[in-house]
Chain A
């Protein structure tokens, strides 16, 4: 037991070193813009750059749209599968895991070829159409996490009983979903939403290939041309990701406990 603990501390210490070094390194580098002393100049330059503000806002809006569409798509589906189509669950699991197996670059390549200006659905023909396409692409990327989170959340509540109770009080499907099911899986939905936010905000390949002015391509561009600003951007991006995960932790405290598992 005691030797175990020494090894455990060793592994954890090594891991902390590996993960802390790049973070410290980046932070230190981001402060070195002024020659003689540490300064926040790099941050000032980045935050003051109008393209930073524009692309960041664009990605934030994209993330919010993705979350809204994702929730509208995933919650009713996961609910319906739990309630009426339990034998579909393996199929749904397979479908929602596919985006982890098919690389995003392949998916977006398919979009470009399938929805180009000469196709039956010329989404890439207009800026708005491309935005919508990109947003659907993000929904696909978020699908594994979103579906997982919501399905786990639904497991913690008794879907069938809640539905019957609501129906016996005369509620229709929309009311049931919006007033009964959604509040009960709110924590799961929020967790999925924050994760989606973290994924979308820095996403590069889809936005770059669809030529949208998103935050990811902006960061890449800045990185190719500047020295210290990218480090500052990396620190900012890390803080955003960290903020999303911290929010997941915070909302998880309010999750209903899943029923005791029987072994």
Chain B
């Protein structure tokens, strides 16, 4: 019997106290009555139209911003890794991605208000120079589309940062071997490159999804409580602004864990299926 595991005790204790137990508290609490008995009523309470629609819009925003983030992030990463751009462009782009992926939260909301808000720079330029009134056309920063557009500001750079190493791992020989065997560029991507990148893309997608699903600050600073997405609902609930039932708060939080858990479960399952060729 070795006692080597004792060396990680401090870490395990920390993780237990400040990560595992708080999460467990939420999970357990969502199945408890005020008196501490078991109940499914809290979970059942989630299935009311206003809460369901909040989950639905949260999931849609997260899916859209994760999908677009992966897509655009992939294209940009491809452009400077494989697309034949001069080498000097890489380092500033990666540094900027590091900055932008961390430039989330309250200031990001301010930036988008100052740019795409009713008096924002882009809004005014489009209106005064091109005669396009985007608000007249139905655009609203405080909506599904507006929030997705805002989230992309940190989602795309995050995707770039994760996908770049994967693209760096694509060997030139694979491309050349495919070409000399008669494959077109499209065939190479379909049969070789894309399946190799698939696990990284899936991982990026799962991370981006969780990233935007749990984001509170940007949405809250942008919309106050006017846009009903789950994290904002939960935020208001914890503050005691609305929804007086504390156990509904547990259930809301539990629902968030379930959604990100499912997203990651799907990711792990798909990855295991697509990675048979990796040691």
Contacts and interface: CB of A to CB of B under 8 A. Distances in A.
Interface stretch (B17-25, B38-46, B188-196, B270-278): B17-25
Contacts of B250: 113
A29 B121 contact: yes
A216 B106 contact: yes
Nearest to A30: B114
A74 B104 CA distance: 25
A9 interface: yes
B25 A113 contact: yes
B121 A102 contact: no
A199 B102 contact: yes
A79 B76 CA distance: 36
A205 B26 contact: no
Interface string B64-98: 00000000100110111011110001010101101
A18 interface: yes
B117 to A, nearest CB: 9
Interface string B170-194: 0000000000000000000000000
B190 to A, nearest CB: 17
Contacts of A22: 111-112, 114-116, 153
Name the residue among A22, A136, A195 with the largest chain B CB count within 10 angstroms: A22
B52 interface: no
Contact of B7 (A4, A7, A84): A84
Interface residues of B, number: 82
Given A8-B83, A223-B109, A230-B113, A110 B21 contact: yes
A100 B211 contact: yes
A203 B105 contact: yes
A136 B13 CA distance: 12
A187 B103 CA distance: 23
Does more than half of chain A's interface fall in helix, strand or loop, or is it mixed?
Answer: helix
Given A25-B114, A105-B231, A105-B235, A202 B106 contact: yes
Given A106-B23, A107-B19, A230-B113, A245 B95 contact: yes
A112 to B, nearest CB: 7
B99 A106 contact: no
A234 B111 contact: yes
Interface size class of A (residues with CB under 8 A): 35 or more
A249 interface: yes
Contacts of A113: 22, 25-26, 29, 250
Given A204-B216, A220-B220, A241 B102 contact: yes
Contacts of B104: 202
Contacts of B108: 234
A8 B85 contact: yes
Contacts of A136: 14, 17-18
A103 B95 CA distance: 26
Interface of B: 4-5, 7-8, 10-11, 14-15, 17-19, 21-26, 29, 72, 75-76, 78-80, 82-85, 89, 91, 93, 95-96, 98-100, 102-116, 119-122, 152-153, 156-157, 207, 210-211, 213-214, 216-217, 220-221, 224, 231, 234-235, 238-239, 249-250, 253, 256-257, 260-261, 264
8 contacts: A22-B115, A80-B4, A103-B216, A106-B26, A110-B253, A204-B105, A204-B106, A205-B231
Interface of A: 1, 4-5, 7-9, 11-12, 15, 18-19, 21-26, 28-30, 73-74, 76-77, 80-81, 84-85, 88, 92, 95, 98-114, 136-137, 139-140, 195, 198-199, 202-205, 208-209, 216, 219-220, 223-224, 230-231, 233-234, 237-238, 241-242, 244-246, 248-249
Closest 10 CB pairs of A and B: A110-B22, A103-B214, A8-B83, A25-B115, A25-B121, A204-B217, A8-B79, A29-B114, A237-B107, A234-B107
